[in-house]
Amino acid sequence: MDYFEYREGQLWAEEVRVAELVERFGTPLYIYSAKTLTRHFLAFDAALKGLDHLTCFSVKANSNVNLLRHLGTLGAGVDIVSGGELYRAVRAGIAPAKIVFSGVGKQAHEIREALSAGILMFNVESSQELECIGRIAQEMQTVARISIRINPDVDPKTHPYISTGLKENKFGLDMLEATGAYLMARKHPFLDPVGMDCHIGSQLTQIGPIVEALEKLLVFTDRLHASGIAIRYLDLGGGLGITYDDEQPPLPADLGRAISTALAGRELTVILEPGRAIAGNAGIMVTRVLYTKKTPMKHFVIVDAAMNDLVRPSLYGAYHRICEVTPTDRGLMTVDVVGPICESGDFLAQNRLLPALAPGDTLAVFSAGAYGFSMASQYNSRPRSAEVLVDGEKSLLVRRRETYEDLIALEVE
């Protein structure tokens, strides 16, 4: 559920008219709803009540410092995958004790930064990485808390680009290698093996694969326990899907129930790393129609947002619902909604039934709050769009639109 809705013949973001935001800030424009973020975060929190738990928002989904700060005030931790995300999280006031660090390619300087900050744990993805963390912790004379990311080899039944828990994927260690890693960590004076984690994929629409992975992990924690390694944190990653079109993904409460059942009687702190399920439907992107164009094959609607602003349709063939900001009763047409970028792959929608559009009309692209702005680029030297956070009747510019000067600011002339 989100707080973007049509009332009085137009689209509202909470108590603010989207058309008013467009007048003030221009297009393309990302608009986020604070109330929706709160609602989604609290849904995870409530789903795990009764268990020791920590909900770590996955920063890669939406890394705007203001959003992170908003989630932080609700008690969120974060899942980071780079020194840059650590920097953002710390700037947003997230307590280091609530930060987990994932990713297959952590660099030495990033490991040092995370150890200095005092993060909760590193989700380790290879034996070499574990050795590297041990070496750096020793140099710094500090103990690194670690979790080993297990590749449980389960099929998450999602897009192959966002499946991460199959044995052909680059993520995590299989259980045999993980056993060696845990034994090495136990003996190492500067490593403390406190956790076990997995993340099997994203936009999951079934709970079954997550439970299957969880059960494999529990069997493994029992085996480790027998060798004197007591796992305290079980991090199940993110991945819960959202409704873009007509998907009916499980709710956080469904996931919470399944986890609670599986963990009954165990003393483990559960960590989840949701990104999309918190931010996805808490954001829209608004774009303006520049031209319409009819060719012998197609009707094109050319808008001012492009694949550099929202790459998901081009990259994954992802569906995003598109509607007029101010609905009309014009007849429907099948169109491709395309951007100004010089690539045929630059589209926001293909063969979409939309009211006949005209230059100047504004369109809302829904479910754009996750992996929208965070994946944006300046391709074709297009300044990145502005971002606005709406909270009730208030709207706050949380990132200004880039300028031409911004485009070349780092270039050395």
> Footprint of ligand LLP on this chain (CB under 6 A)?
58, 61, 79, 102, 162, 164, 199, 202-203, 237-240, 273-277, 312, 316, 370-371
Q: Which residue is nearest to ligand LLP (CB)?
A: 238
**C-alpha distance from residue 185 to each of 146, 230, 263 (Å):** 8, 12, 25
Minimum Å gap between C-beta 227 and ligand LLP is 26
Nearest to 369 by CA among 44, 57, 43: 57
Minimum Å gap between C-beta 202 and ligand LLP is 3
**C-alpha distance from residue 143 to each of 82, 89, 97, 217, 361 (Å):** 20, 21, 14, 24, 58
Minimum Å gap between C-beta 241 and ligand LLP is 7
| Neighbouring residues of 372: CB distance < 8 A, sequence distance ≥ 6 | 30, 62, 283, 285, 309, 310, 312
Q: Which residues are annotated as a binding site for substrate?
A: 276, 312, 316, 343, 371
Of 190 and 252, the one with the shorter C-beta distance to ligand LLP is 252
8 Å CB contact between 317 and 281: no
As given in the structure block, the two tokens for residue 3 are: 């707080």
Q: Which residues are annotated as a binding site for pyridoxal 5'-phosphate?
A: 239, 273-276, 371
8 Å CB contact between 236 and 210: yes
Please give the Cα distance from 23 to 101 (Å, whole number): 40
Please give the Cα distance from 241 to 251 (Å, whole number): 9
Assess whether 342 carries a catalytic annotation: yes
Minimum Å gap between C-beta 360 and ligand LLP is 30
What radius of gyration, in Å, describes the C-alpha atoms of the chain?
Answer: 22
Of 14 and 235, the one with the shorter C-beta distance to ligand LLP is 235
Minimum Å gap between C-beta 199 and ligand LLP is 4
Peptide bond into 313 cis (omega under 30): no
Of 272 and 301, the one with the shorter C-beta distance to ligand LLP is 272
Of 25 and 101, the one with the shorter C-beta distance to ligand LLP is 101
Of 183 and 258, the one with the shorter C-beta distance to ligand LLP is 258
Per the residue annotation, which of 56, 132, 198, 342 is the catalytic one?
342
Active site members? 342
